[in-house]
Amino acid sequence: MFQSVPHMLFQTIEHHGKKDALRYRKNGQLIRYTYDHFGDQIRYLTHGLASAGLKSGDKIAILSNNRPEWTISDFATFALRAIVVPIYQTLPANQIRFILNDCGARAIFVEDQSQFDKIISIKNELPKLKFVFAFDDLESDEQQVIYFDQLILKGEKHRQVDPDFFDETLDEIDPEDICSIVYTSGTTGNPKGVMLHHKGFITDIINSEARLNLFPEDVFLSFLPLSHLYERLAGHWCPMYRGGTIHYARSIDTVVEDIADAKPTVMVSVPRLYEKIANAVMAQVQQGSFLKKKIFYWALRTGLEYHRKKIDKAVSPSLERKYRLADKLAFSKIKKKLGGNFRYPIAGGAPLSVETLKFFEAIGLRIIEGYGMTETHLIITLTPFGKTKYGSCGKPIDGVQVKITDDGEVLIKGETLMAGYYNQPELTKEVIDEDGWLHTGDIGHLDDEQFLFLTDRKKNILVTSGGKNVASAPIENKLKTSPFIEDICLIGDHRKFVSAIIVPVYDQLKKWAAEQGLRASDNEALVKHEAVRKMVLSEIEDLQSEFARYEKVKKIILLAEPLSIERGELTPSLKIKRNVVLKRYKEEIDALYAEE
């Protein structure tokens, strides 16, 4: 067991120093950081932070998009025995103010002018913040601003004066030291600061990687925010543990192009990306000729049969030939667009639809699903390789115990539990009971082989006025397989029936409307068109045949604009803040039910 996260990294540097640790494109040129260079930057920055006056126990925040400086700052803060406080780069100034004041941050790394301007706008309300470090050049007269490159130079000078400082501070790390406070975005109220330690991180990394089976040759594409533990641990630290390479996407909007460029072998993502890829392919198939459709659906059936039998080593020569033909005619083109080197995608953060899982399985990319929480240093369960169970998020990793209460709540116990919520001991006691079990708030069950199946969040269970319990997540996930539905929020708590607020896939909707000869000047006019509404309702009706009558969506509200993080409707990890959405569209919802 490693003493700390930096100790883990520096062992990798020792064995894989000449390999690429980090890559990104700048002005069309591929920039590479070898592990040796990455390690040197961490050493110099640790010295630089010390020379600036920061010390063990200080809270240092990071407010930036993914880039090498983010993770260098992360490891350097760890090495200093200070505490990293990651902040979502999309948060508005008032929410950033709450986090910085709640944790008492002494310093913050900001990426660019836009993030710096947020800090300046609240500077007078941040009494403990003494240092602002910037990755990019800024337009500012602020004397407090120190640039990242200046800190590196300060660190080089400091190391010449005190060459043993880095090794000494690293040796003093206690595995149970709080090394990061991660604020959960939460779907209600103010965010909570989750206190996390090296021991929990290392345990989670090692036991998760044992399930993932990573290699030094693996390349991960990084596009989910590093401020979320999912990308930070699963997308960075797990591959770094094995000497893999991280390739930074240019932005979340360029992911598909970046996949082709990076040629990743593994990718960490939320289900939404995989669903978009599957839906885009299926939409293109639907526009093809009858023969092309027939070939593709035959290929999907063949692919599923092949990969299921391959696990049991029961592939016949005829099935082998059929699969090779299916791959040549259909799958190879899809995999080429995904870089051509994929071993498998990883999905987490929300349930993945079975249809999407089967799509990727058929083309030869078996998705590994996981379930985790910030409060458990992230990963709780992962799909064992080659042992997919549809609807399951896998089995608990080593060192994690899972049990289900009589009312179906999932409880977690083990060395990866958080140290508690920062400054909130009473809230900590509410979620971790006297026997050391963390109450997750998720509803689910374990099968005979200890595979975990999640139903929904406790608070997302709708209870109709007729007393019927409706789990929203399975219905929402099923309906999102429609090529016309981008996002969906079920409503119906204490109502006679279930309805839904829907964000359409506007491009697909416009294309359909044009084919029907419908005219719409903008999204507002489009979603109000009665023919559009009837078509989406028809889509929904076709998709919900498997649900009970009381679970079926009967009415819909189509939104003319997507839900957004800026308006507080989505968490930074893209989960719907149901209470915010219901409040914002209260008039429309009331009108919907008043029609009855």
Does the pLDDT at position 595 exceed 80? no
Same domain? 291 vs 142: no
β-strand pairing of 378-382 with 368-373: antiparallel
The per-residue pLDDT for 92 is 87
Quick one: 47 and 78 in the same domain? Answer: yes
- State whether 35 and 102 are in the same domain: yes
Do residues 244 and 282 share a domain? no
The single-letter DSSP state of residue 367 is: P
Query: Widest CA span of the chain, in angstroms?
Result: 78
Residues 61 and 169 in one domain: yes
Residue range 402-409: average pLDDT? 94
Say what percent of the chain tops pLDDT 90: 76
- Region 510-522 average pLDDT: 89
CATH (domain of 584):
3.30.300.30
> Token digits for 460?
């997302």
Q: Is 159 part of a structural domain of the chain?
A: yes
Is the confidence at residue 368, as pLDDT, over 70?
Answer: yes
pLDDT at residue number 252: 82
How would you classify the pairing of strands 245-248 and 219-222?
Answer: parallel
Instruction: Report the domain count for the chain.
Output: 3
Q: In the beta sheet, which residues pair with residue 421?
A: 194
Does 102 map to a domain? yes
Residue 5 half-sphere exposure, CB side, CA atoms within 13 Å?
Answer: 34
- Nearest CA to 399 out of 182, 202, 194 is that of 202
217 within a domain of the structure (yes/no): yes
Q: Quickly tell me which residue has 């063949």 as its tokens.
A: 302
**Tokens representing residue 134 in the block:** 């910037």
Residue range 119-175, pLDDT digits in tens: 999 999 999 999 999 999 998 776 679 999 999 999 999 999 999 999 999 999 999
Q: Is 524 exposed, middle or buried (0-12, 13-18, 19+ CB in 10 A)?
A: exposed
Closest CA to 142 of 111, 121, 158, 128: 121
Spatial separation of the C-alpha atoms in residues 186 and 97, rounded to whole Å: 17
Q: Same domain for 349 and 303?
A: yes
Q: CB of 416 within 8 A of CB of 206?
A: no
Q: Do 57 and 166 reside in the same domain of the chain?
A: yes
In the predicted structure, residue 186 carries a pLDDT above the cut 60: no
Q: Give strand pairing partners of 29.
A: 26
Is 73 part of any domain?
Answer: yes
Helix ranges, 162-214 (H): 165-171, 198-212
Q: Among the three residues 361, 382, 400, which one is the final residue of a domain in this structure? A: 361
Question: How far, in Å, CA of 545 to CA of 266, rounded?
Answer: 35
Beta-carbon contacts of 97 under 8 Å, excluding residues fewer than 6 positions away, are 122, 125, 126
Q: pLDDT tier at 464 (50, 70, 90 boundaries)?
A: confident
CA angle 568, 569, 573 (to 5 degrees): 90
Task: Give me the pLDDT at residue 29, please.
Answer: 94
Residue 153 belongs to domain with CATH number: 3.40.50.12780
Write the DSSP assignment of 422-438 as a string of letters.
TT-HHHHHHHB-TTS-E
Residue 546 burial (CB count, 10 A): 10
Query: Given CA atoms 348, 354, 359, 360 in this order, what sign does their dihedral have?
Result: positive
Collapsed DSSP state (helix, strand, coil) of residue 286:
helix
pLDDT over 80 (residue 55): yes
Give yes or no: residues 27 and 101 share one domain.
yes
Give buried/exposed letters for 550-583 (b at 16+ CB in 10 A, else e): ebbbbbbbbbeeebebeeebbbbbbebbbebbee
Strand order across the 485-491 sheet: 485-491, 498-504, 553-558
Round to whole Å and give the CA distance between 352 and 371.
Answer: 11
Q: Is the pLDDT of residue 213 over 60?
A: yes
* Separation between Cα atoms, residue 523 and residue 500, nearest integer Å: 18
CB-based contacts of 538-547 (< 8 A; 24+ apart in sequence)? 539/482, 539/484, 539/485, 540/479, 540/482, 540/500, 543/478, 543/479, 543/481, 543/482, 544/475, 544/478, 544/479, 546/478, 547/475, 547/478
258-284 per-position pLDDT tens digit: 999 999 999 999 888 898 899 889 988
Residue 524 in this model has a pLDDT that exceeds 70: yes
| Dihedral pair phi/psi, residue 59, rounded to 5° | -95, 125
Q: 596: exposed, middle or buried (C-beta count within 10 Å: 0-12, 13-18, 19+)?
A: exposed
Q: Concatenate the DSSP letters of all residues of 44-62 into one string.
A: HHHHHHHHHT--TT-EEEE
pLDDT for the residue 578: 86
Element (H, E) at 487: strand 485-491
92 and 162 belong to one structural domain: yes
Rounded CA separation 543/482 (Å) = 8
Query: Both 122 and 83 in a single domain?
Result: yes
- Asked if residue 146 and residue 28 are part of one domain, the reply reads yes
Decide: 81 and 169 in contact? Cβ < 8 Å: yes
Alpha carbon distance 510, 267 (integer Å): 31
- pLDDT for 362 equals 95
Determine phi and psi for 29, rounding to 5 degrees.
Answer: -95, 135
Question: Rounded to the nearest 10 degrees, how much is the dihedral formed by the CA atoms of 462, 468, 469, 472?
Answer: -50
Range of the structural domain that residue 480 is part of: 464-594
| Paired sense of beta strands 469-471 and 452-457, if any | unpaired
Task: Tell me whether strands 378-382 and 420-421 are parallel, antiparallel or unpaired.
Answer: unpaired
3-state secondary structure at position 3: coil
> Apex CA 101: angle with CA 100 and CA 103, to 5°?
70
Give the Cα separation of 194 and 180 in Å (integer).
Answer: 8
Average pLDDT of the residues of the chain: 93
Query: Is residue 451 in a domain?
Result: no
Please indicate, yes or no, if residue 573 is contained in any of the structural domains.
yes
Does a structural domain hold residue 195? Answer: no
| Residues contacting 143, CB < 8 A, separation 6+ | none
DSSP secondary structure letter of residue 383: P
Q: State the first-to-last Cα distance of the chain, in angstroms, to the nearest integer.
A: 63
Identify the domain boundary among 361, 379, 397: 361
Structure tokens at 289: 């000729």
Considering the domain boundaries, does residue 474 fall inside one? yes
Average the pLDDT over each of 54-58, 349-353, 556-560 and give the range with the smallest value.
Answer: 349-353
pLDDT of residue 400: 97
Residue 189 has a pLDDT of 64
- Looking at 321, 340, 361, which one is the last position of a domain? 361
Locate 445 and state its tokens: 């069950």
Domain co-membership, 223 together with 354: no
Rounded to an integer, the average pLDDT of 472-487 is 90
Whether the CB-CB separation of 206 and 415 falls below 8 Å is answered with no
